[in-house]
Amino acid sequence: MLKQRPSLRIVFSILCAAPLVRAQAAVAEPPPLVTDGDPDRSIPPCSGCHQPNGGGSEEGAAARLAAIGEQYIANQIENFRNGNRNHPVMTPWAKELTGAEVKTLAAYYEALPPASNAVVPPRLKREDGQWLALYGDWPNRRLPACQQCHGPLGIGARDHFPALAGQPYSYLVNQMASWGTGARIGDHDGMMRAVAEKLSMAEAQRVAAFYASLPAQGAMEVATEIGSGERVPSAADLRPPGQGADSQPPQDAGPKKTGEQPMPHRGTPIGHQGPTPAGRDLVKGASYFEPPSRTERPEDDFGEMVAMGESIFSNTYSHEVSGKYVGNTQVCEGCHLDAGRLADSSPMWAARINYPAYRKKNDKVDTLVERVQGCFKYSMNVQASEVGTVPSAESRTIRALLSYMHWLATGAPVGDKDIPGRGYPKLEKTADGFEPERGAEVYAAHCAICHGENGEGGYAGAEMVFPPLWGEHSYNWGAGMHRINTAAAFIKANMPLGSYIELTEQQAWDLAAFMNSHERPQDPRFTGDLAETTEQFHGSEYDYYGKRKGTDGKLLGEGAMTPASRPAEAGGN
Amino acid sequence: MLKQRPSLRIVFSILCAAPLVRAQAAVAEPPPLVTDGDPDRSIPPCSGCHQPNGGGSEEGAAARLAAIGEQYIANQIENFRNGNRNHPVMTPWAKELTGAEVKTLAAYYEALPPASNAVVPPRLKREDGQWLALYGDWPNRRLPACQQCHGPLGIGARDHFPALAGQPYSYLVNQMASWGTGARIGDHDGMMRAVAEKLSMAEAQRVAAFYASLPAQGAMEVATEIGSGERVPSAADLRPPGQGADSQPPQDAGPKKTGEQPMPHRGTPIGHQGPTPAGRDLVKGASYFEPPSRTERPEDDFGEMVAMGESIFSNTYSHEVSGKYVGNTQVCEGCHLDAGRLADSSPMWAARINYPAYRKKNDKVDTLVERVQGCFKYSMNVQASEVGTVPSAESRTIRALLSYMHWLATGAPVGDKDIPGRGYPKLEKTADGFEPERGAEVYAAHCAICHGENGEGGYAGAEMVFPPLWGEHSYNWGAGMHRINTAAAFIKANMPLGSYIELTEQQAWDLAAFMNSHERPQDPRFTGDLAETTEQFHGSEYDYYGKRKGTDGKLLGEGAMTPASRPAEAGGN
């Protein structure tokens, strides 16, 4: 997985991207509040705690502000003002500031070059927290990976997900404790609360050590330090949750602990893999197949292909091996969560054991190779890619993905069509059907924060963090997800990711309808005639293609994006 | 499976083939012994029992002789003379005949048009015996299929394996009883004894009904009656051993039977799948995975592909879908017995769950598609085929084979490298090494009867029944079987097929060395230079390529067969 997705090309594009460039162009004189505060209003200088370089401090557990987004900083000052956050220094100070002052300060810090003053306690190592940061703990706790929102290696994504890389260790630990105990609130849909309250105190420390040990500038560069050649951490470097440094009694901490100390809980966890989550309309009482742990990946040639496959799976569009076959900014993991491991999210172990299989879509028996090629054709919109044709059966892309899927299915019984967790749990129609107009409201409330107000997705620099849901960078009109019933099933089972919110079935239907009432890349089976294509391929009642008007007033499919024509090369690699 | 392998093209070539054509050209006057016998020597007329058309009779349990090979008939008369066979009429009669008379009679009957006077008891149906005739009962009894020696649909193969199609039911039952009880002997290596003594009386009747119900002329035509479009019997038509007509008490037979009456045994059965055969140096005490029964094949689109895959597996070179990719007369089943089901014979269920995998041969991780393509490249010598390049991943050939392998592995755990019965059981080196000269003697004694004195294989008309072992129709110098250790392991575990003979390890090594000391089609990786090719690909001590001289006095590989150069077409289908 490792959301750092990057080929080197992308690493460099990030290193040279917005914050740094802006900073170099505009290292401004600090405003007086930063250097001197305002004694008249009892405001201390910001740099007293946050330091002149804006890198924060361990002593005061003060955040790194340098190169943090202006909007995010302004929001936090507001949170101190309205009581969502509480701090003996910050709370009174924030209440004194004028709007103009907030804007000036926030802009100043955003423009600062990334800097860090973080110091990690010697007993902790970066690897100790790597697992939770990169993978979370879906199978047991529906705990998302930090980087699923905060971007690859915590470089930050969108306004609401600040950089974690290079934040002071003490600040990160404090914040996780505050979210988990309810001392800090105001997170959208309880996202941080849902995460933090599932963490043990020890886990919070490990995750903090991971991010604090990363440089504020150039965090992406350490991808190569952390990962193997293909940028998936070696199995030997991985410490699964509960097996980090603190499995030994900490040397520099208080009384000895026996085992993990859970954070105080506030509310009921949403559910977990293993026995089916209660309250979800999934397969009742089922025990899910468990793919092998990442630490069990073999350290041999096959294991290398598995690692490459996992990296491709999570970084499909930007991976140096597979990127040339992807015509949008999608990754396999976008529809198959937890890198294809998660039950009820069309997991790869269930696919692996059920192909070859007959598919109505193609009216023939497809092999697994052909099934995966189908994903490139539709979900990855290969038509707009560099190569323009799907990777061949002999390509490294296909071999790596099949190796990864094979390994994930280790021990699964071949041909078990009824294996619990296969595909998405089917969603029954509701009495009220589905309406994009209703879905638009749900979307604005719960989805736009990550996927963008216009479904454009969310990026960290050049890196996609939240998949685009419509438009030119989304899946095309031939992908399974364009069918409203499929999308509704996916949404109900999996979204919002790791949040406290649980959508109703009606909301899932409406969201799916809303998402798929927008224009997207053309169906590669397009015959040249919309009515004909609609009749041949889009007859389903769950399909708006050719039947409903999009926001441009034209029938959906009429304004579908088409790639410039490209030379069709063989996809060998 | 259905050894009738034929595409229609081949059916017709057989229908028009040797015996019929010869017969039409030469319907001779019957010799006086046939019509009148010789009262002076108390010899009754042959046609009294065998009937004027040579089709035999049910009343006398007299064999069909029409179009049976001259050599086989002459051998049987000799058997009556020397006591290997005993019959109240035939034994004294045979002792009266001169050598010239035998030759005349045998030649006359071989030249007769195929004819049958067989009548099957009404309580029995052809389908009742189909299973044993087509598949035998490998998993439980190492019982080979009748057609594995007697040719597709019992049309006969080589001198020693007479036609069964159209033989009188009573004659067939009697002969199986005679083999099984030891009343008839003289079979090579106890082959028929080994078969017949494993049959129950009821099974013998069912098998007899199957063959007796086939026409003596045009047996191959009923392939389409029996089989589905792809000439594998539909699952619904299959009656597994023990589930034929006689599971009901017979209506026209003697006292009611409760269950199967075993044939009297003479000696110890060789072994069986299930618990490992005692006395064989296989995986000790292992229980083998059981692929699904043929009767469980689903009756849907996927099942159709599975059926096609099985048909291709057993008829590779002649199948209308796969034949164009095969440059010799080999079938997958030649190295993977019982249509890829048999443990210790590199079964397909074990391959299915263990790919993708790293292969030293290609120094990369290969998918199952690539592994199967490798079989076409080497074992099927695709270079000399109609197409000249391996079937593509999207071809029907590959999709059908993968579907079949997938289905065979139903329920097997993915990635179980140690599944018992995988591959061939490794054979330890013996103190005496391996010597082709010693192997030649073993070959002549035990192998030539089926595979031919010159390794040319055995055919029934145009249909291969026993695979060629060297020469232009065999596997090429890149195939795994050219390695002496691989071949020795295969031979020890599986050959002679279903016979009473068990080869020693030393014999297996020597046989493998003998087999692979002959010239065969060129390694497709041939660089143009024998020494270079040898160094790059044939360094093993178990490999004679480029190191030992063949029968032509040249180094092996130097005189290797190469196909005329062909246009390289894409292998889509």
Rounded-to-integer distance, Cα B510 and Cα B440, Å: 8
Res A31: pLDDT: 95
Q: Could you say which of A300, A365, A393 has the minimum Cβ distance to residue B305? A: A365
Q: Could you say which of B301, B392, B416 has the minimum Cβ distance to residue A358? A: B301
B415, A416: Cβ pair inside 8 Å? no
What is the three-class DSSP state of B320? coil
Q: Contacts of residue B360 in chain A, CB cutoff 8 Å?
A: none
Beta bridge partners of B275: B287
A232: confidence class by pLDDT, cuts 50, 70, 90: low
Which residues touch A145 (CB under 8 Å, ≥6 apart)?
A1, A3, A132, A133, A134, A135, A136
Q: Contacts of residue B398 in chain A, CB cutoff 8 Å?
A: 367
Token pair belonging to B224? 């389409």
What is the three-class DSSP state of A57? strand
Give how far Cα A190 sits from Cα of A87, A296, B40, Å: 20, 34, 112
Q: What percent of chain A has pLDDT over 70?
A: 82
pLDDT at A443 over 80: yes
A415, B414: Cβ pair inside 8 Å? no
- Chain B CA closest to residue A416: B411
- Chain B CA closest to residue A301: B358
What ipTM score was computed for the predicted complex, to two decimals? Answer: 0.77
Could you tell me the end-to-end alpha-carbon distance of chain A, in angstroms, rounded to an integer? 22
CA torsion B315→B319→B322→B324, rounded to 10°?
120
- Chain A CA closest to residue B291: A414
Q: Of A471, A469, A511, which is closest to residue A488 (Cα–Cα)?
A: A511
B415, A393: Cβ pair inside 8 Å? no
Q: Of B372, B283, B275, B360, which is closest to residue B325 (Cα–Cα)?
A: B372
My answer on whether omega of the bond before A524 falls inside 30° of 0, hence cis, is no
Q: Which residue, chain included where needed, has tokens 């340098």?
A: A66
* Mean pLDDT on A552-566: 83
A364, B409: Cβ pair inside 8 Å? no
Which H or E run contains B357? strand B357-359
A305, B403: Cβ pair inside 8 Å? no
Res A167: pLDDT: 96
A399, B353: Cβ pair inside 8 Å? no
Q: Contacts of residue A402 in chain B, CB cutoff 8 Å?
A: 356, 367
B414, A353: Cβ pair inside 8 Å? yes
Rounded-to-integer distance, Cα B38 and Cα B61, Å: 22
A411, B415: Cβ pair inside 8 Å? yes
B411, A411: Cβ pair inside 8 Å? no
Min CA distance, A299 vs chain B (Å)? 12
Beta bridge partners of B358: B365
A414, B392: Cβ pair inside 8 Å? no
B414, A409: Cβ pair inside 8 Å? yes
**Among the ranges given (A127-136, A494-503, B394-403), the one the predictor scored with the smallest mean pLDDT:** A494-503
What burial class does residue A471 get, using C-beta atoms within 10 Å of its C-beta: 0-12 exposed, 13-18 middle, 19+ buried?
middle
Report the sign of the C-alpha dihedral through residues A175, A178, A179, A185, in that order.
negative
Token pair belonging to A392? 């061949």
Q: Contacts of residue B355 in chain A, CB cutoff 8 Å?
A: 406
Token pair belonging to A320? 């140096």
pLDDT tens over chain B, length 573 residues? 333 333 333 333 333 333 444 444 456 799 999 999 999 999 999 999 999 999 999 998 999 999 999 999 999 999 999 999 999 899 999 999 999 999 999 999 999 999 999 999 998 988 888 889 988 887 778 788 998 899 888 988 888 899 999 999 999 999 998 998 888 998 888 889 889 988 888 889 999 999 999 998 877 666 544 433 334 566 666 677 766 654 443 344 333 333 433 333 222 222 223 333 333 333 344 578 999 988 899 999 999 999 999 999 999 999 999 999 999 999 999 999 989 999 999 999 999 999 999 999 989 999 999 999 999 999 999 999 999 999 999 999 999 999 999 999 999 999 999 999 999 999 999 999 999 999 999 999 999 999 999 999 999 888 899 999 999 999 999 999 999 999 999 999 889 887 777 899 999 999 999 999 999 999 999 999 999 999 999 999 999 999 999 988 999 999 999 975 444 444 444
Res B7: pLDDT: 33
Q: Contacts of residue A393 in chain B, CB cutoff 8 Å?
A: 367, 369-370, 392-394
B365, A300: Cβ pair inside 8 Å? no
Residues across chain A: 573
Q: Could you say which of B305, B352, B392 has the minimum Cβ distance to residue A414? A: B352
A414, B409: Cβ pair inside 8 Å? yes
Q: Contacts of residue A352 in chain B, CB cutoff 8 Å?
A: 414
Q: How many CA atoms does the CB half-sphere of B331 hold within 13 Å?
A: 29
Rounded-to-integer distance, Cα A7 and Cα A16, Å: 14
A411, B414: Cβ pair inside 8 Å? yes
In one-letter notation, the amino acid at residue B38 is D
Q: A180-202 burial string, b = 16+ CB within 10 Å, else e?
A: beeebbebbbbbbbbbbbbbbbb
Q: Could you say which of B358, B364, B399 has the minimum Cβ distance to residue A356? A: B399
Q: At what angle do helices A99-111 and A70-82 cross, to 10 degrees?
A: 140
Q: Contacts of residue A415 in chain B, CB cutoff 8 Å?
A: 406-407, 409-411
Residue A487 Cα to chain centre, angstroms: 18
B302, A356: Cβ pair inside 8 Å? yes
- Chain A CA closest to residue B418: A411
A367, B300: Cβ pair inside 8 Å? no
Rounded-to-integer distance, Cα A411 and Cα B502, Å: 36
* Mean pLDDT on A448-475: 93
Q: Of B151, B239, B254, which is closest to residue B201 (Cα–Cα)?
A: B254
A414, B416: Cβ pair inside 8 Å? no
What is the three-class DSSP state of A244? coil
Min CA distance, A413 vs chain B (Å)? 4
Q: Could you say which of A364, A392, A399 has the minimum Cβ distance to residue B365? A: A399
pLDDT at A235 over 80: no
Min CA distance, A567 vs chain B (Å)? 19
Question: Would you list which residues of chain B are within 8 Å, Cβ to Cβ, of chain A?
Answer: 300-302, 304-305, 349, 352-353, 355-358, 364-367, 369-370, 392-394, 398-400, 402-403, 406-407, 409-416
In one-letter notation, the amino acid at residue B340 is G
Q: Under a CB-based contact definition with an 8 Å cutoff, are residues A348 and A405 in contact?
A: yes
Q: Under a CB-based contact definition with an 8 Å cutoff, are residues A422 and A489 in contact?
A: no
pLDDT at A10 over 80: no
A414, B415: Cβ pair inside 8 Å? no
B415, A392: Cβ pair inside 8 Å? no
Min CA distance, B364 vs chain A (Å)? 7
* Mean pLDDT on A102-127: 94
Mean pLDDT computed over every residue of chain A? 84
CA A411-A414-A420 angle, 5° bins: 75
Q: Could you say which of B356, B392, B414 has the minimum Cβ distance to residue A399? A: B356
Listing DSSP states for A442-476 in one string gives HHHHHTHHHH-TTS--EEETTEEEE---SSTTS--
Could you tell me where the DSSP H helices lie in A249-331? 301-315
What burial class does residue B304 get, using C-beta atoms within 10 Å of its C-beta: 0-12 exposed, 13-18 middle, 19+ buried?
buried
Q: Contacts of residue B366 in chain A, CB cutoff 8 Å?
A: 399
Q: How many CA atoms does the CB half-sphere of A352 hold within 13 Å?
A: 31
Rounded-to-integer distance, Cα B571 and Cα B573, Å: 6
Q: Under a CB-based contact definition with an 8 Å cutoff, are residues A573 and A397 in contact?
A: yes
In one-letter notation, the amino acid at residue B240 is P
In degrees and rounded to multiples of 5, residue A19 shows phi and psi of -60, -45
pLDDT at A242 over 80: no
B414, A416: Cβ pair inside 8 Å? no
CB contacts < 8 A, A to B, total: 108
Token pair belonging to B31? 């010799």
Q: Contacts of residue A302 in chain B, CB cutoff 8 Å?
A: 356-358, 365
Could you tell me where the DSSP H helices lie in B136-260? 138-141, 147-150, 169-181, 191-196, 201-212, 223-226
Min CA distance, A388 vs chain B (Å)? 18
